[in-house]
């Protein structure tokens, strides 16, 4: 009954908003997407289930609906409601979900499958836009609190965002980020809680808030320079931490063979006397006709706090791929090669791989080799993705030392 009441309130609010907008002559723009998502992941440990076994598989069927409106006087409104279900696949094909609401896979009540991921008001004043409410945050401007797009739906944040462009070729972004719905495998997307950091002590909540300031400048020809500062308050109840991160992207039509370069790096500094975490990365790419090639290297030292999104499981590092993030957070050196070949209307094939020297102080360092093959194509208006990942690592005798992942996604945007 409680969930039905919640669902009724959400539905009534959206209906009321639409009705009021119609009375005042305001148009509601409706967009969205429908998604079918399947993934299976199995390791080679003794007695482990097979790759396509029901015990290793997860799936979702989701529908996302956006309702946006121009409220006049430079005010805009945005909302996003999501349905996450399985179409009963848990009966004989899968045993879990990639995302859910209220932690369930076999919920019989529609209220347990619906959540509100965005609800905000924005106001533009001259060259400044203020956006208040539940919203997405982009990685390019918020590298440690951003909306990840790898799962069924993106995670979002309860935040206040200010964007200013008064300075020529420069974007200033300030944000106050309070909560988010953590984006991981099997996450409860209806649960908006504290941001969190990965550390050698485990996952620690940011019990207060995160304040962010980003400056992005494009004054230098062919270069985009971005610098970001975060103040994380009350991590694990009593620790404050400063995060500094910078990124320089160089690309332009005047460079031969589509050459492009990147440099990134930063530091996480807790105030409790524990060791800072430093990270650095470089990458270089080129494009010749239909073939694109990229090479990258990143390193993270043995600090206490990991290089990870506070609202998800990914990193802002150049070497981040589909499945290798757990080896990137702390104390490692990672090398990446990537090749993408365009087949035109027939899609794109991507082959990429990383080798990670894992230097963490654990009994058996988990030096990781991650090889990935991805195929993307748009057909009939639907974006399809098929991916295969093979991982291998050092392990004790008799323990699992490898795993395979297969992922299929069909996404229709309307």
What 8-state DSSP symbol labels residue 112?
A: G
Q: What's the CATH code of the domain at 204? A: 2.40.160.10
For position 215, what pLDDT does the model report?
Answer: 98
**C-alpha span between 312 and 306 (Å, rounded):** 13
State the Rg of the chain over Cα.
22
The closest of 143, 139, 177 to 161, measured between CA atoms, is 177
Cβ(332)–Cβ(360) below 8 Å: yes
**Closest to 322 measured CA to CA, from 411, 388, 276:** 388
Give, for all 414 residues of the chain, the pLDDT tens digit.
444 444 454 555 555 555 555 556 789 999 999 999 999 999 998 889 999 999 999 999 999 999 999 999 999 999 999 999 998 888 899 999 999 998 667 656 777 789 999 999 999 999 999 999 999 999 999 999 999 999 999 999 999 999 999 999 999 999 999 999 999 999 999 999 999 999 988 899 999 999 999 999 999 999 999 999 999 999 998 899 999 999 999 999 889 999 999 999 999 999 988 899 999 999 999 999 999 999 999 999 999 999 999 999 999 999 999 999 999 999 999 999 999 999 999 999 999 999 999 888 666 667 999 999 999 999 999 999 999 999 999 888 878 999 999 999 999 999
What is the rounded CA–CA span in Å between residue 177 and residue 232? Answer: 10
What is the pLDDT at residue 395?
A: 85
**Residue 180 structural domain:** 2-413
Distance of CA 366 to the CA centre of its chain: 24
DSSP output for 42-100? EE--TTPPPTTSGGGEEEEEEEEEEEEEEEETTEEEEEEEEEEE-TTGGGTT-SB-SEE
Split into its structural domains, the chain has a count of: 1
State the pLDDT at residue 25.
74
Q: Is 102 exposed, middle or buried (0-12, 13-18, 19+ CB in 10 A)?
A: middle
């Amino acid at each position: 009954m409680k969930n039905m009441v919640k669902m009724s309130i959400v539905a009534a609010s959206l209906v009321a908003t639409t009705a009021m907008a119609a009375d005042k002559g305001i148009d509601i723009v409706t967009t969205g997407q429908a998604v079918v998502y399947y993934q299976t992941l199995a390791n080679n440990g003794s007695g482990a289930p097979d790759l396509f076994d029901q015990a290793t598989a997860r799936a979702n069927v989701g529908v996302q609906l956006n309702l946006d409106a121009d409220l006049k006087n430079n005010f805009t409104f945005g909302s996003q409601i999501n349905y996450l279900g399985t179409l009963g696949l848990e009966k004989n094909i899968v045993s879990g979900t990639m995302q859910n609401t209220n932690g369930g896979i076999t919920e019989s009540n529609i209220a347990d499958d619906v959540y509100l991921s965005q609800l905000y008001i924005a106001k533009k004043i001259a060259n400044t836009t203020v956006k208040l409410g539940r919203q997405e945050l982009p990685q390019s401007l918020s590298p440690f609190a951003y909306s990840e797009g790898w799962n069924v739906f993106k995670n979002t944040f309860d935040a206040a965002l200010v964007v200013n462009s008064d300075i020529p070729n420069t974007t200033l972004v300030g944000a106050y980020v309070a909560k988010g719905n953590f984006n991981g495998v099997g996450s409860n997307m209806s649960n908006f809680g504290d941001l969190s950091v990965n550390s050698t002590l485990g996952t620690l909540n940011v019990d207060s808030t995160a304040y962010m300031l980003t400056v992005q400048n494009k004054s230098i020809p062919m270069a985009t320079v971005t610098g970001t500062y975060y103040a994380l308050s009350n991590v694990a109840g009593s620790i404050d931490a400063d995060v500094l991160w910078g990124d320089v992207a160089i690309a332009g039509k005047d460079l031969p063979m589509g050459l492009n370069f990147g440099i990134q790096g930063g530091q996480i500094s807790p105030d409790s006397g524990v060791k800072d975490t430093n990270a650095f990365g470089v990458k270089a790419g080129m494009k010749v006709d239909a073939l694109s090639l990229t090479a990258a290297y990143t390193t993270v030292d043995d600090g206490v706090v990991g290089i990870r999104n506070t609202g998800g499981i990914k990193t802002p590092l150049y070497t981040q791929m589909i499945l290798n993030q757990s080896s990137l957070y702390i104390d490692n050196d990672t090398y990446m090669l990537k090749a993408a070949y365009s087949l035109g209307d027939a899609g794109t094939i991507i082959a990429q791989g990383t080798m990670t020297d894992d230097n963490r102080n654990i009994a058996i360092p988990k030096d990781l080799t991650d090889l990935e093959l991805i195929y993307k194509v748009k057909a009939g208006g639907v974006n399809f993705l098929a991916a295969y990942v093979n991982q291998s690592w050092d392990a004790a005798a008799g323990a699992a030392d490898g795993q395979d992942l297969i992922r299929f996604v069909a996404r229709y945007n309307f």
